[in-house]
Amino acid sequence: MPNSPTPLTQAIDRYLQFMRAEQNKSPLTVETYRQSLDLLPEFMGISDPREVNKGSVRVFKSALHSYRTAQGREFMIRTKNHHITILRAFLRYLIQEEEMDIYPPDRVTRFQESERKVKVLFAEDLEKLLQAPDTSKREGKRDRAILETFFSTGLRLAELRSLNCKDINEKTREISIRGKRGKIRVVFLSDRAVEALKDYLGSRVDHLTPLFIRSLEKASNIMPPGEEFRLSRVSIWNIVKKYALKAGIVSNPSPHTLRHSFATDLLRNGADLRSVQELLGHKDLGTTQIYTHVTNPQLKDVHKRCHGK
């Protein structure tokens, strides 16, 4: 039997409904918040939001430290702070919208983070990765299209997974993306990405809606839309890992490494930070500025060429 609703789980449901109805948050954002808030009853050991206090917050933080994923990994500091930020937003909603007298969200402090490090691929390793799929096979054509699209657009994993066939405009070489906070942005396809997508789509004999699908042979017998054939986040993650291993890349890149590589490639070739911010779909310029640390070595060349002449 499912667990009976509690004042806490009911409050969480109301908050998620508020996000959908009043804040027009994207389904992806709402689901992300749900997954995080579902940790509260277990990690805090409470059943009512009025039970949030200094002690239960401390228990929550301790649980974030001790939690291990199915792979035995602990949460990164950024992930822990992500959960704390969502808890604070939930408490703020209860105070402002439901006028509930509860623990102040500004007293729920985040963990101190060290300066974020950005992992990017060197040009040689990037090329090895992009060339790794065997494009004589239909699955290889799909995987090559995934890798080229990642690097060409800088999409987040969830954004790439959500793409449908109709989203690809081969004529203008553009894709309209609904990213975080429901914001729409346009990203662009390189010549290589367009060719890889054409090759992949030309090999498909189905009429399913999702762009990147599993079981390509079975899909031909399925009626649209075929949402159940859309590749999962884990599958796409594993595709990147598979070809990184095949290419002999020891830095263990992830889909987000390709997003980082996209951004740094733009900056190294003269793009301005504001443009990169728009292409990545960052809300704040400060988030984009992490990439300047990677491109800063170029300043040495600038200094050498331009100073003391």
Catalytic one of 61, 80, 142, 259: 259
Distance from C-alpha of 229 to C-alpha of 211, rounded to nearest angstrom: 10
Whether 207 is catalytic is no
Q: Helices marked H in 229-296 — which ranges?
A: 233-246, 255-268, 273-280, 285-288, 292-295
First to last CA, the chain: 79
The answer to whether residues 206 and 188 touch, using CB atoms and an 8 Å cutoff, is no
Size (the chain), residues: 309
Q: Which among 173, 185, 214, 256 is annotated as catalytic?
A: 256
Which residues lie across from 174 on neighbouring strands? 169, 188
Q: Does the annotation mark 259 as catalytic?
A: yes
CA distance 35 to 210: 24
* 180, 185, 198, 214: the active-site residue: 180
CB 232 within 8 A of CB 127: no
**Would residue 173 show up in a list of annotated catalytic residues for this protein?**
no
| 186 vs 180: CA distance, rounded Å | 13
Query: How far apart, in whole angstroms, are the C-alpha atoms of residue 125 and residue 82?
Result: 31
Answer yes or no: 156 catalytic: yes
> Is there a catalytic annotation at residue 293?
no
Strand 184-188 relative to strand 174-178: parallel, antiparallel, unpaired? antiparallel
Of the residues 25, 61, 80, 156, which is catalytic?
A: 156
256 a catalytic residue: yes
Query: Which member of 25, 61, 83, 282 is catalytic?
Result: 282
- The residues assigned a catalytic role are 156, 180, 256, 259, 282, 291
